Structure 1
Amino acid sequence: MAPVISVRRRAMLAWLAACLPAHAGASPPATGTRPARIVIDPGHTPAQGGALGVRGIYEVRYNDGLASLLLRALTQAGFDVALTRGPGDNVSLEERARFANVRQADLFLSIHHDSAQLQYLEKVAVGDHDAYRTTRPISGYSIFVSQRNAHYAQSLAAAQMLGVEMRKLGRPPALHHAEPIEGESRELLAPDIGIYRFDDLVVLRQAAMPALLLEAGVIVDPADERYVSDQGNQARIVHAIVTAVRQYVATARIGHAQK
């Protein structure tokens, strides 16, 4: 069954339709006469590993793995793709946005894996390592955009396309970031497909092109961590992202041609 489209989402889709031309179908992945440039940002660094998951593995390893698969898939699909950093690189948030800006990317996509606030977590031991586990089920993906990005309408359009494709995988979006608690209270723009507004995310607001951040899954939730660690599911997530990027670039290509 297709997800129900809320009244709020209908209004947002109408606004996007006024900002962007209609989707053009299976157009080649190009903007103007060159392949579209996509910058993939694997979140966090070896020095600052991000969330600590239920298996005692830091988020950065999940991010690097998914970003590597996505780099290969988008390149094979005909895009001009680059990573903001390699697995061993410690790169600041500002440098990541600067890299994309210098490269004059058409789309910036930051890859992350999610956690939850400490009130929903318990510390557990995995061998000799600490780990964190949810005390109640918290699972699913989330997509973030920033209104401080210079191309907010286009960022939101790309997020809509990605949200629809991620929802097709059969997992509901994670909604815990909208809870009115310390560290959350994010504005939930599209509950049915998991899009949030988070204006102060540095890589999104400093990117000079449409930009979004994907939390692919919740690595402190045992069931969701198993989902995102499964190679078949990783391939399905990558396929969803590539499909959404193709759809977005086809739309942006029409906009470029009309300028």
Structure 2
Amino acid sequence: MWLRTLVSLGLLGLAPAASASGRAPRIVIDPGHGGSKTGALGAGEQLEKGLVLQIALQLRDRLEEETGAQVFLTREKDALVQLPDRVTFANGKRPDLFMSIHANSMPTRKLRERVEGIETYFLSAAASGAGARATADRENADAPRAQSVQNDSTLNFILNDLVRMDAHAGSSRLAYAIHQRLIASTGASDRGVLQAPFFVLTGVEAPAVLIEVGYISHPQEGARLARAEYQEKLVSAIASGVKDFLKDLSKRDAPSGADSETPQVASPTSP
């Protein structure tokens, strides 16, 4: 059962990660899949695992340059990293936010030709709809003893309780900040900010989102996702959303009349 697995792995510490006073932001980026877990397959045998790694590596460089953040990747090459290990790695870095990068897919030819667009998720026990649940089920397929969350009433209780926790509220704000930038920058179909029970988000002790950057299975969108100029738009938009979130976080946590002790976005300095 999921609950037994989560408890044994120590993945139920759901309080937000503490920030060290005055330090640079810490960000963990999780490129989905890897190794033998190829993820979705696109036109021309484009693989999700390779696409999301390309985006994650560019995003790391952009965030380090524009925010002064310490950015960590759960994988930096085509390697298999189990979902629980990704969560453990992320929590070990005590991040201010976590982003898991994926590309979506549809199972039938008819749907593959029709469905496209960007979705951004944060954690919830109840999926936003059938499509969100299908996406979560697919991404959770690599989880240990993966099964439908709705059949585990104890885990449902724990996840439903997230609505009262800061990490969950922060995840919602992060999701909207990133999603708005992505749609504005790319002009992609807006499939919304959604909620679903993703294993990789369950135990992260910080605001955490999962971004489906598009449908790799769609003929036109899949081709766009492979292009360097479109990846640049995605990277720039996600980075802008992160900066928006960090600025908002700084304002929320700053004591009245005092400088904030939360991580700050670094200002560019003259040479």
Match of 1:255 in 2: 252
Superposition deviation, residue 153 in structure 1: 0.9
Indicate if the aligned counterparts of 2:177 and 2:241 stay in contact, CA closer than 8 A. Answer: yes
For structure 1, the residue ranges without an aligned partner over 5 or more in a row are: 1-29, 122-133, 176-193
More strand by share: 1
Measured against aligned partners, the alpha-carbon deviations of 1:1-29 in whole angstroms (never above 9, x if no partner) come to xxxxxxxxxxxxxxxxxxxxxxxxxxxxx
Superposition deviation, residue 236 in structure 1: 1.1
Superposition deviation, residue 31 in structure 1: 7.5
Superposition deviation, residue 143 in structure 1: 0.5
Match of 1:213 among 207, 210, 214: 210
* CA distance 1:118–1:112, shift in 2 (3 Å): same
Q: CA RMSD in A?
A: 1.9
Measured against aligned partners, the alpha-carbon deviations of 1:120-171 in whole angstroms (never above 9, x if no partner) come to 45xxxxxxxxxxxx2x321111111103365111101011111110111253
Match of 2:91 among 101, 109, 120: 101
For structure 2, the residue ranges without an aligned partner over 5 or more in a row are: 1-18, 125-158, 256-260, 262-271
* CA distance 1:55–1:210, shift in 2 (3 Å): same
TM-score relative to the length of structure 1? 0.72
Match of 2:178 among 162, 169, 186: 162
Q: Partners in 2 of 1:32 and 1:161 — Cα distance?
A: 24
Indicate if the aligned counterparts of 2:201 and 2:209 stay in contact, CA closer than 8 A. Answer: yes
Match of 1:197 in 2: 195
Match of 2:223 among 223, 226, 236: 226
Instruction: Please tell me whether residue 41 in structure 1 is matched to residue 30 in structure 2.
Output: yes
Match of 1:171 in 2: 187
User: Where has structure 1 moved over 6 Å in runs of 4 or more?
Assistant: none
TM-score relative to the length of structure 2? 0.68
More helix by share: 2
Q: Partners in 2 of 1:32 and 1:157 — Cα distance?
A: 22
Task: Give the residue type in structure 1 aligned to 2:243.
Answer: R
Task: Give the residue type in structure 1 aligned to 2:31.
Answer: P
Q: Partners in 2 of 1:211 and 1:173 — Cα distance?
A: 23
Q: Partners in 2 of 1:120 and 1:91 — Cα distance?
A: 33
Indicate if the aligned counterparts of 1:169 and 1:236 stay in contact, CA closer than 8 A. Answer: yes
Q: Partners in 2 of 1:243 and 1:138 — Cα distance?
A: 26
Residues 143-152 or 233-242, more deviating: 143-152
Residues 143-152 or 102-111, more deviating: 143-152
* CA distance 1:76–1:228, shift in 2 (3 Å): same
Q: Partners in 1 of 2:250 and 2:87 — Cα distance?
A: 22
Query: How many residues were matched structurally?
Result: 198
Q: Which secondary structure does the structure 1 equivalent of 2:45 belong to?
A: coil
Match of 1:125 in 2: none
Matches within 5 A, 1:88-167: 88-118=78-108, 120=110, 134=112, 136-147=113-124, 148=159, 151-167=167-183
Measured against aligned partners, the alpha-carbon deviations of 1:44-99 in whole angstroms (never above 9, x if no partner) come to 01111101111112210101111111011111111110101121321111111111
Q: Partners in 1 of 2:186 and 2:95 — Cα distance?
A: 31
Matches within 5 A, 1:2-21: none
